[in-house]
């Protein structure tokens, strides 16, 4: 990214990265999902290292869907959804 010399792209990616970290921290802190979160990433990483693309894709999809479900419940509880 830095090598692109595209300041707008670099700023955009830095903003996305910052928001991603912020959301993950909220998710981990408020929903005590830290252990499961780490376990899921370990399984995804192992699948990638072992060259098992289908398993990595399946695990990542499950991981993302679980997070979406948790956020949906969070916003329903707050009355915002």
Give helix then strand counts, H and E, for the chain: 3, 0
Tell me how far apart the alpha carbons of residues 81 and 68 are, in angstroms, rounded to a whole number: 13
- Say whether pLDDT at 1 is over 70: no
Residue 6 pLDDT > 70 = yes
**Angstrom distances, CA of residue 34 to CA of 6, 37, 57, 72, 73:** 35, 5, 21, 18, 17
Question: In the chain, what is the straight-line distance between the N-terminal and C-terminal CA atoms, in Å?
Answer: 36
Task: Tell me the per-residue pLDDT of 20-78, one tens digit each, with 9 for 90 and over.
Answer: 888 777 766 655 567 787 889 899 999 999 999 999 999 999 988 988 887 788 778 87
Please give the residue that has the higher pLDDT: either 18 or 78: 18
pLDDT band with cut points at 50, 70 and 90 for residue 17: confident
Q: Give 50's DSSP letter.
A: T
Closest CA to 38 of 71, 11, 63, 74: 63
Token digits for 81?
């959804």
User: How much is the pLDDT for 61?
Assistant: 95
């Amino acid at each position: 990214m830095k090598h692109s010399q595209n300041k707008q792209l670099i700023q955009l990616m830095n903003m996305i990265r910052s928001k991603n970290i912020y959301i993950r921290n909220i998710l981990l802190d408020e929903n005590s999902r830290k252990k499961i979160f780490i376990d899921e990433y370990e399984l995804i990483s192992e699948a990638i290292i072992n060259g098992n693309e289908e398993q990595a894709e399946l695990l990542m999809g499950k991981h993302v869907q679980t997070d979406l479900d948790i956020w949906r419940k969070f916003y329903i509880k707050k009355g915002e959804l």
